[in-house]
């Protein structure tokens, strides 16, 4: 790991971005992922023919073009692949949510697929590439649920 | 058959560059029309000679431009898909129209005009579709935030530092100081860089390009015809666009293989470009590298072979991209970081001036100039102009 990396706002606790920032849109291929999220379950889209995982779920497997998907329940554990610390709000309404930390998470059991999410409730200085994380769920007022991740101690 | 050497940029025109929102009350079509007229005049042609338009980043309305400018006939009008990644490739699009016999005089033009304030409600600013929902919910709403994820990973894998990002910002600012058209007029020290507010760690304010209003146009015609025109031609030696399938939707996807993740996505475009041109990185005299973010200048220098993968940080820190004393002077007009941001078209303008020998920070006897389009989702693009 690169010892020179020092995170901005190291003593702050990372927040969740405002849920009003986006309203999740779905189609028939992504709907099962968000349906599972509502049940607080993290699932991966695995090709029902060749077994290749893909994220986001798209209409066909890029390897074999099969449209069959096995929705695999994942452990919810993962590893931080990379992250950024948002230290400045793009609009005034976002200011109370600073800092938040978008991160790319390699999902355990996900065949190498990565999910873009947030590290929340963590001391920012403790966030690092390679860090172990676990999914937690945020239920939104619009009925959708999104995955966030917390640091796994140790 | 390729487009190699068969066409040239014979005219270039730009409106004055202003900070975002300051071009009002001029309209967007007005800015574009003014840039087109200047470029046509620069070429020694008449607007009635124009019979084609090529665009990128969503393009503009050719029918409206035809009406405003009084163009008698359009024979070619096309837009490269994607966003700023297509700037250098739009010149290739114009060249292919001419080589293919569809049109004789094609103008590539791009204008930017933004509201004074960017503020809005979140939902109206960031409408989500089923694919973008997968990253937008994380609050990743601007390219500077998305590219920060690549920059962080590059730092992790290769030990790239913010001091090295700072060198890109400072070198580019230095070039802007001697360019009267550049928006940034104040010198930048390393201290200034580190005092700038952090926006999306590791990207601070000075890692971001400017937000500018303005328009730039370039006139392309056949090399044969170019010889008899007013200006010294800037021959389009090669232009390519596209990208590696594994790079794909990149900044909205983040599932690229590890070796591509910390890149600019230009790998295949660069390879094809050098192949078409029959030259390599050592032959390039000066480069206009799409600088929406300092970190991506470093990754493009790697992808275009000026240094090895992972060595872009030390490479810039050695002074290699400086106008004075650098082995490959980069963004000699002050780039998008310190001159103006017109979706990459100011880089095309500067490249033409370097080839003509009329640039404000002229690289002596520059024969070959590389121009890149913005690292983005497919397509990325490249262009090599020759004297
Ligand atoms: Zn398959």
B128: its two tokens:
């989500």
d(CA B106, CA B83): 20
What is the mean pLDDT of the segment spanning A16-35? 94
Question: Which residues in chain B are contacts of A85 at CB distance < 8 A?
Answer: 198, 200-201
B341 among known catalytic residues:
yes
Model confidence pLDDT, tens digit, residues B278-293: 999 999 999 999 999 9
**SS (HEC) of chain A:** CCCCCCCCCCCCECECCCHHHCCCCCCCCCHHHHHHHHCCCCEEEEECCCCCEECCCCCCCCCCCCCCEEEEECCCEEEEEEECEECCCCCHHHHHHCCECEEEEEECCCCCCEEEEEECCCEHHHCCCCCEEEEEEEECCCCCEEEEEEECCC
Q: Note whether residue B159 is domain-resident.
A: no
What is the mean pLDDT of the segment spanning A121-136? 98
Q: Is residue B124 scored above 50 in pLDDT?
A: no
Where would I find the H helices in chain B? 28-43, 62-69, 87-99, 122-125, 133-136, 143-158, 162-177, 190-195, 223-226, 258-261, 267-277, 294-303, 312-317, 345-356
State ipTM. 0.96
B165: its two tokens:
């990002």
B139 contact partners, CB below 8 Å, separation of at least 6 = A17, A18, A21, A86, A94, A97, A100, A102, A118, B145
What is the mean pLDDT of the segment spanning B342-352? 97
Least confident among B68-72, B142-146, B347-351: B142-146
How many percent of chain B have pLDDT more than 70?
97
Q: Is residue A126 scored above 90 in pLDDT?
A: yes
Q: Is residue A107 scored above 80 in pLDDT?
A: yes
In the DSSP assignment, the letter for residue B366 is -
CA A63-A67-A69 angle, to 5 degrees, is 95
Whether A116 and chain B come into contact, CB under 8 Å, resolves to yes
Which of B131, B133, B142, B194 has the most A C-beta neighbours within 10 Å, making it the best mutation to test the interface with A?
A: B133
Average pLDDT, chain B: 96
B199: its two tokens:
């926006």
Q: Is residue A1 scored above 70 in pLDDT?
A: no
- Region of B21 (left: φ > 0; alpha: ψ -120 to 50; beta: rest) is left
In the DSSP assignment, the letter for residue B15 is P
Q: In what order do the strands lie in the sheet with A69-73?
A: A53-54, A43-47, A69-73
Residue B118 confidence (pLDDT): 54
Size of interface A-B (CB pairs under 8 A): 135
- What is the dihedral angle through the alpha carbons of B249, B253, B257, B262, rounded to the nearest 10 degrees? 90
Q: Note whether residue B195 is domain-resident.
A: no
Between residues B14 and B114, the one the model is more confident about: B14
Whether the predicted model's global pTM rises above the 0.90 cut: yes
d(CA A26, CA B136): 13
What are the counts of helices (DSSP H) followed by strands (DSSP E) for chain B? Answer: 14, 12
From A28, A27, A5, select the one nearest A124 (Cα to Cα).
A5
- End-to-end Cα spacing for chain B: 22
Residue B114 confidence (pLDDT): 82
Q: Note whether residue B229 is domain-resident.
A: yes
Q: Note whether residue B127 is domain-resident.
A: no
Task: Say whether A21 and B139 touch across the interface (CB within 8 A).
Answer: yes
Task: Give me ligand 1 centre to Cα B83, in Å.
Answer: 30
In the DSSP assignment, the letter for residue B245 is T
Question: Which residues in chain A are contacts of B118 at CB distance < 8 A?
Answer: 90-91
Model confidence pLDDT, tens digit, residues A43-65: 999 999 999 999 999 999 999 99
Task: Say whether A88 and B199 touch across the interface (CB within 8 A).
Answer: yes
Look-up of token digits 């996807």: B253
Residue B120 confidence (pLDDT): 42
Whether A1 and chain B come into contact, CB under 8 Å, resolves to yes
Query: Which three-class secondary structure state does DSSP give residue B38?
Result: helix
B289: its two tokens:
């590298």
B66: its two tokens:
């035809």
How many percent of chain B have pLDDT more than 90?
95
From B184, B169, B365, select the one nearest B286 (Cα to Cα).
B365
Task: Say whether B145 and A102 touch across the interface (CB within 8 A).
Answer: yes
Question: Which residues in chain A are contacts of B153 at CB distance < 8 A?
Answer: 81-82, 129
Q: Note whether residue B364 is domain-resident.
A: yes
What is the mean pLDDT of the segment spanning A101-107? 98
CATH number of the domain that residue B307 is part of: 3.40.47.10
What is the mean pLDDT of the segment spanning B28-38? 97
Q: Is residue A2 scored above 50 in pLDDT?
A: no
B193 contact partners, CB below 8 Å, separation of at least 6 = B166, B169, B170, B204, B206
Which of A84, A117, A119, A142 has the most B C-beta neighbours within 10 Å, making it the best mutation to test the interface with B?
A: A84
Q: Which residues from B are below 8 Å from A when comparing CB atoms?
A: 118-123, 125-126, 128-142, 145, 148-150, 152-153, 155-156, 159, 161, 197-203, 254-255, 261
d(CA A27, CA A45): 14
d(CA B43, CA B13): 9
d(CA B16, CA B349): 13
What is the mean pLDDT of the segment spanning A71-84? 98
Model confidence pLDDT, tens digit, residues B290-340: 999 999 999 999 999 999 999 999 999 999 999 999 999 999 999 999 999
Residue A109 confidence (pLDDT): 98
Q: Note whether residue B143 is domain-resident.
A: no
Task: Say whether A86 and B145 touch across the interface (CB within 8 A).
Answer: yes
Please identify every residue whose CB atom is under 5 Å from ligand 1, which is an ion.
A 47, 49-50, 52, 61, 63-64, 66
CA-nearest residue to A81 within chain B is: B153
**A118 with A99: CB under 8 angstroms?**
no
Residue A22 confidence (pLDDT): 83
Residue range of the domain that includes B336: 7-117+209-386
From A15, A13, A20, select the one nearest A96 (Cα to Cα).
A15
**B87 with B373: CB under 8 angstroms?**
yes
Task: Say whether B137 and A22 touch across the interface (CB within 8 A).
Answer: yes
pLDDT band of A4, cuts 50, 70, 90: low
What is the mean pLDDT of the segment spanning B329-357? 98
Task: Say whether B200 and A85 touch across the interface (CB within 8 A).
Answer: yes
Q: Where are the domains of chain A?
A: 19-151
């Amino acid at each position: 790991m690169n010892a020179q990396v020092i995170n901005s706002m190291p003593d702050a606790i990372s927040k969740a971005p405002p849920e009003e920032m986006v309203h999740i849109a779905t189609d028939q291929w992504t709907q099962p992922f968000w349906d599972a999220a509502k049940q607080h379950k993290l699932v991966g889209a695995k090709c029902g023919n060749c077994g290749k995982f893909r994220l986001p779920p798209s209409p066909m497997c890029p390897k074999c073009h099969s449209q069959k998907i096995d929705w695999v329940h994942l452990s919810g554990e993962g590893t931080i692949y990379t992250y950024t610390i948002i230290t400045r709000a793009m609009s005034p309404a976002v200011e109370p949510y600073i800092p938040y930390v978008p991160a790319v998470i390699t999902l355990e059991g996900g065949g190498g697929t990565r999910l873009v999410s947030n590290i929340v409730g963590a001391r920012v200085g403790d966030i690092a590439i390679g860090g172990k994380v676990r999914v937690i769920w945020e239920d939104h007022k619009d009925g959708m649920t999104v995955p966030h991740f917390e640091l796994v101690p140790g | 058959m390729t487009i190699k050497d068969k066409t040239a940029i014979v005219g270039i025109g730009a409106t004055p560059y202003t900070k975002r929102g300051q071009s009002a009350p001029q309209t967007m079509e007005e800015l574009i029309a003014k840039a087109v007229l200047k470029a046509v005049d620069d070429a020694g042609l008449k607007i009635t000679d124009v019979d084609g338009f090529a665009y990128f980043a969503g393009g503009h309305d050719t029918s409206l431009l035809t009406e405003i400018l009084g163009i008698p006939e359009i024979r070619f009008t096309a837009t490269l898909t994607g966003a700023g990644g297509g700037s250098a490739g739009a010149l290739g699009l114009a060249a292919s129209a001419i080589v293919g016999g569809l049109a004789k005089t094609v103008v590539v033009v791009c204008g930017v005009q933004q509201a004074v304030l960017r503020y809005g409600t979140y939902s109206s600013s960031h409408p989500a579709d089923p694919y973008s929902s997968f990253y937008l919910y994380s609050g990743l709403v601007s390219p500077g935030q998305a590219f920060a994820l690549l920059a962080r990973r590059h730092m992790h894998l290769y030990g790239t530092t913010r001091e090295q990002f700072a060198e890109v910002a400072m070198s580019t600012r230095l070039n802007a100081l001697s360019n009267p058209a550049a928006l940034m007029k104040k010198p930048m020290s390393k201290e200034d860089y580190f005092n700038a507010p952090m926006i999306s760690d590791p990207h601070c304010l000075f890692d971001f390009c400017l937000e500018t209003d303005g328009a730039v146009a370039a006139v392309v015609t056949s090399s044969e015809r170019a010889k008899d025109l007013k200006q010294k031609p800037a021959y389009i030696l090669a232009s390519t666009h596209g990208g590696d399938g594994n790079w794909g939707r990149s900044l909205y996807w983040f599932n690229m293989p590890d070796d591509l993740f910390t890149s600019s996505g230009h790998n295949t475009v660069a390879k094809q470009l050098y192949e078409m041109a029959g030259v390599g990185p050592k032959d390039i005299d000066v480069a206009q590298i799409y600088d929406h973010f300092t970190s991506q200048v470093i990754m493009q220098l790697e992808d275009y072979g000026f240094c090895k993968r992972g060595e872009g940080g030390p490479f810039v820190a050695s002074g290699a991209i400086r106008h004075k004393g650098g082995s490959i002077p980069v963004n000699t007009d002050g780039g998008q970081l310190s001159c103006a941001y017109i979706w990459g078209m100011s880089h095309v303008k500067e490249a033409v001036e370097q080839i003509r020998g009329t640039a404000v920070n002229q690289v002596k006897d520059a024969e070959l100039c590389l121009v890149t389009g913005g690292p983005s989702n497919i397509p990325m693009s490249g262009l090599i102009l020759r004297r």
